[in-house]
Amino acid sequence: MRALLLANADDADPGFVGHHLHRRGYAFAECLREAPGEWPSLDDVELVLHLGSEWSVYWPHVAGAVAAEAELLRTAHLRDIPILAICFGSQLAAHALGGTVHRMAAPEIGWWAIDSDVDEIAGGPWMQWHSDAVTLPPGAVELARNPFGVQTWRRGRLLCTQFHPEATETMLARWTAGGADELALVGSSREALMTTTRANVKQARLDAERLVDWFLDHVAG
C-alpha cells in the first residue's frame, strides 16, 4: 500500500511508527518539507504520515513550505485519505483546518504520561519535545490531554498526536545532541534525558505499535 511521509530532510526517520506501518503493509515515498515542488501526487495514496519538525507554523521564513504542506493536508483530508500527524504535524493540521497554534510559556520535553479517553493512547509515558500548542479546529474531537494542553485529537480519518510515538533511542541521541539549551530550560540535560529514554524505550515501542494498530483499525479503517 502506498503512503507518503512528510518530514524535514535532516529528520525523516519515522521510527517505531514507520516500522510498524511497514509491517502492516505500507511503503513510503518521502515528501521533504524543503522541496514541495518535488512531492509526488496524492493519486493512489492510501495513508499520509506527518512527522515532527523544529519548525513552527508561524515562522515567516518557512511560510511558503508551511502553506504547501497545509494545502496537501487539506487535499488529503478532503479526499478522505487517512492521516497520522505527529507533533509539528498536529500543529500543521490544526493550522490548516481552522484551529490555531501558539507558543507555550515553557517547552514540554521528556517522557510524560497523558490522560486519554482511548485505552490505546492513555498512560505512556510518551516522549514530548515541543514549544507550541494547539487550539482545535472546528469539528475536531479531543482524545487526550495533560496540563500542557491537547495531546491527541481526531477529525474524521485524521489523527494527531502532540507527543512522539515514533521516538527511538537513536532519534533521541540525535535530538539531544543539539538541544542542550532547550533541555536546560526544563532543568534537564542530554545525559538525564537519555537515561530516562533507555528506561522507557522498550515499552515505548509496544505503545507505538498499539497506537498504530488502533489508528489503522478504528480511524483509518
CATH code of residue 23: 3.40.50.880
Amino acid at 27: A
3-state secondary structure of 7: strand
User: Cell 511503503 sits at which residue?
Assistant: 27
Measured CA to CA, the distance from residue 213 to residue 6 in angstroms comes to: 20
Average model confidence (pLDDT) for the chain?
97
User: Cell 469539528 sits at which residue?
Assistant: 139
Q: Which domain holds residue 152?
A: 2-220
- Work out how many domains the chain is built from and give that number: 1
pLDDT at 85 (0 to 100): 98
Q: How confident is the model over 163-221, as pLDDT tens digits?
A: 999 999 999 999 999 888 999 999 999 999 999 999 999 999 999 999 999 999 999 99
- Contact at 8 Å (CB) between 83 and 48? yes
pLDDT at 86 (0 to 100): 98
pLDDT at 123 (0 to 100): 79
Name the percent of the chain in helix, strand, coil, to the closest 5.
40, 30, 30
- Contact at 8 Å (CB) between 45 and 25? no
pTM of the predicted model over 0.95 = yes
Q: How confident is the model over 92-142, as pLDDT tens digits?
A: 999 999 999 999 999 999 999 999 999 999 979 999 999 999 999 999 999
User: Cell 521516538 sits at which residue?
Assistant: 167
The dihedrals phi and psi of 119, each to the nearest 5 degrees, come to -60, -35
**What is the torsional sign of CA 154, 125, 212, 45?**
positive
pLDDT at 169 (0 to 100): 98
